[in-house]
Chains A and B, each alone.
Chain A
Amino acid sequence: MHFGPHLLLAALEGLVTSAVLALTALGLSLVFGVMRVVNVAHGEFFMLGAVLAWAISTAISDHPALGFLAALVLAPLIVGLIALVAERLVLRRLNYNPEATIVATIGMLYIIQQLALTFYGPEARPVEAPFSYRILLPWFGYSGYKLSIIAASAFLLIATWLVLTRTKIGLVMRATQYDRETAQAFGIPVERVYAGVFAFGAMLAAVAAVLIVPISQAHYLMGQDPLLLSFIVVIIGGLGSLRGTVVAAVLIGLSDGIISVFFSPTLAKIIATLLVAMVLVFRPQGLFGTSSR
């Protein structure tokens, strides 16, 4: 294949990765930014979203689109509820201590993973896409559903951005993020904000998973890579910066796609990871973060 189309394909693939990554990472970033909690179990919420999507769409198997839509609504809600319970039972009782919450979320990771293995099983299971339209380009074919993921993700990101910047909920969240004590003094119910943010973060991961599952199957170990990538995106993008998170997700997604055009894939991963690490070393506040707070 010629270089131009090859690059186009790599870019398209990169954008799909970016779209899913942006949603997942945004969830992590909110939790991290507002609560200062490093949620190691974030990838497992992602996995739960995919597994639930399989369960729901299998239960409603009349029409793939119907099952998928039901999953798109229900799976995040269930995951959000689970996150809420976890927040109540564990994180709150730890008073959101950074180190303690890392251990606790590692514990959650094990629990969720094991429950998925026990009840869902070790197989990778597919979910049918709501529609299967193959876009025929002059050089290659491309999945229409993949393009719709990009659109759906963009829509969700804009909606989240509007909520964060234009509504009272967003204001309250930002105030809590800026200074917990002061927010409390101003009568903001910090604990409720935290619970809401944690659940919302998990829901974003679940939505991302439901979107991706028709092209990449549900599997009980699928949460690992999104977790690592999301961490990277959050740090590169700068803490609690929605714009930074999205830009970083696009950057990571595209570079992942495009670097692989030029290098052997494992070498490409080595170079990409090293590059990102170097960015962190020499600009630890991230590319878009402000230097101090």
Chain B
Amino acid sequence: MTDKNGFFDLSKTSFTRRTALKGLAAGAGLAVAPGFVRYSQAQSSAPIKIGFQSHRTGIGAAYGRWYEKTTAAAVKAINDAGGINGRPVEVIIEDDGTDPGRGAEVVGKFATQHKTDIVYGTLFSHVVIGSAPAAGEAKIPYFVVSEGHHVASTKLNRYVFQPGITDVKSQIQSMAPWIAANAGKKVTQIFPDFAFGYDHRDYLPPALKAQGAEVIAQIAIPPTESSFTKYFPQIPAETEVIYHVMVGPAVLTFVKELGEFYGSNRPQLFGFIDSLEATDINSPGLEFLDGSHFWEGSPRYAQPDDSPAQKAYRAAVGIDDNGAAVGDPKDVSTAAHMFGCWETLYVVKKAMEDAGYKGPEDRTKLVEATEALTEFAEGPEHPQGPKTFNGKIHQCFGIQNISKVEGGRLNVVHKTKIEDGLYEPEGDYTTQAL
């Protein structure tokens, strides 16, 4: 697994040595790691192979890099503790180019060439949906870390699971009570004019209505847009809260332009941190966000009440108290999502052990064992918090964080309850044939 250190970081002499040393240390650490030694001596059990479909190139690359780091950390932790069923875990990475066509090919490649036991890892919804048929046909379990509602919608198939991160429908629903009670009753939504935005467009208004608040305007912004100011006049003057959720490289522009437009005299802001994943909250132009609130899956900044599990997780992945890579404060992680990789791998471990998984012939057993899971307790395996799992819709539900931007960092001010995000299942995968 490669850690792409920026070229320009290397060009700064002060970093060169440190990066090199870090690399040496990591190599040495790997060589003496207990798990590593044990397997190289024992060689009795072949590794469990996990195919990691990663966004190495294309629009999702910033997420892909951090998903790889988290995965590497989780796999190391699992292997250090004896692997799965006593067998080491080996991760094989293929780039899907953040493209659904290539994604499906990559799933095929895992299933038939690398002959991995499962496929895992994808984030972007269109890649998940594009790859799902290939996984279903190859009958290979496909564990995604996407937060999309597609798995829970039961429109995919029985081999696709999302056990490590709450889906967006649930996230939105659990935000509504806090927004209505603390931010304001008249909400204007700004969202990207594609599927990710539609989840917010469709699920927020009913959730707010149930809390006695209302959405007074919905502003969709086309995915190709790189400048946003011209949409801001559509925000009604009586707006109390701007609910914003933008993704892609232009989000920084979005926030900066919002700042230029309103100055200090602005409505309340509530956003999904997706807007600013992998982006330093202290970037020039973002001062405007001070005092605003964000949804976070897992908090980017270390919190005073962090559990030991959370601290251990952060150390293992290699992020500092500000959620940036240890040693490079400019390399900000995708903390709000990438914990899902860690937790998903532990779910896989649990399900494989429950199923007595031995090899690809046991894949159906693995599916059934995963479906039988109901709860994940908070702990080293689930550092983000406790979760419930609905085996019928293959989706987990966890707590969500609402954080306030204060003094250039994000402080958690509210944690939702799991029940806030539960909804009626839309179908049942377990009735499908295996």
Contact = CB atoms under 8 A, between A and B. Distances in A.
B304 interface: no
B229 A266 contact: no
Given A122-B65, A134-B260, A265-B225, A217 B233 contact: no
Nearest to A216: B253
Contacts of B260: 134, 141-143
Contacts of B279: 123-124
B25 interface: no
Given A10-B230, A221-B249, A265 B221 contact: yes
Given A141-B261, A142-B260, A222 B283 contact: no
B59 interface: yes
B232 A140 contact: yes
B227 A17 contact: yes
B226 interface: yes
B8 A58 contact: yes
B230 A260 contact: yes
A126 interface: yes
B261 A55 contact: no
Contact of A221 (B59, B233, B262): B59
A126 B253 CA distance: 9
B285 A126 contact: yes
Contacts of A152: none
Contact of A120 (B7, B65, B250): B7
A119 B193 contact: no
Given A6-B233, A222-B249, A16 B220 contact: no
Contacts of B232: 9, 140
B256 interface: yes
Contacts of A126: 252, 283-285
A265 B252 contact: no
Contact of B252 (A136, A142, A217): A217
A119 B285 contact: no
A141 B263 contact: yes
B26 interface: no
Contacts of B262: 141
B194 to A, nearest CB: 9
Q: How large is the interface on B (under 10, 10 to 19, 20 to 34, 35 or more residues)?
A: 35 or more
Contact of A225 (B224, B252, B278, B285): B224
B335 to A, nearest CB: 14
A266 B221 CA distance: 8
B249 A266 contact: no
A129 interface: yes
B160 to A, nearest CB: 26
B222 interface: yes
A292 interface: no
A124 to B, nearest CB: 4
Contacts of B58: 221
A13 interface: yes
Interface string A220-264: 111001000000000000000000000000000000010011001
Contacts of B253: 215-217
A13, A121, A219 — which one has the most chain B CB atoms within 10 A of its CB? Answer: A121
Contacts, number: 118
A67 to B, nearest CB: 11
B8 A55 contact: yes
A134 B222 CA distance: 26
Contact of B61 (A119, A122, A142): A122
A119 B7 contact: yes
A12 to B, nearest CB: 8
Contact of B193 (A55, A132, A261, A266): A266
Interface string B344-386: 0000000000000000000000000000000000000000000
Contacts of B220: 264-266
A117 interface: yes
B230 A140 contact: no
B129 to A, nearest CB: 20
A269 interface: yes
Interface in B226-250: 226-227, 229-234, 237, 249-250
B222 A9 contact: no
Contacts of A129: 284
Contacts of B221: 265
Contacts of B285: 126, 132
A269 B226 contact: no
A107 interface: no
Given A58-B8, A126-B285, A13 B227 contact: yes
Contacts of B283: 126
A95 interface: no
6 contacts: A120-B8, A121-B61, A134-B263, A216-B226, A221-B58, A265-B221
Given A124-B249, A126-B283, A134-B260, 16 more contacts: A1-B234, A5-B233, A10-B230, A12-B229, A55-B11, A120-B7, A123-B278, A126-B284, A141-B263, A143-B257, A216-B227, A216-B253, A220-B61, A222-B249, A225-B224, A265-B225
- Pairs of residues from A and B, 8 with the lowest C-beta to C-beta distance, nearest first: A122-B61, A119-B7, A124-B249, A219-B249, A1-B233, A6-B233, A122-B62, A128-B284
Interface of A: 1, 5-6, 9-10, 12-14, 16-17, 54-55, 58-59, 64, 114, 117-124, 126, 128-129, 132, 134, 136, 140-143, 215-217, 219-222, 225, 257, 260-261, 264-266, 269
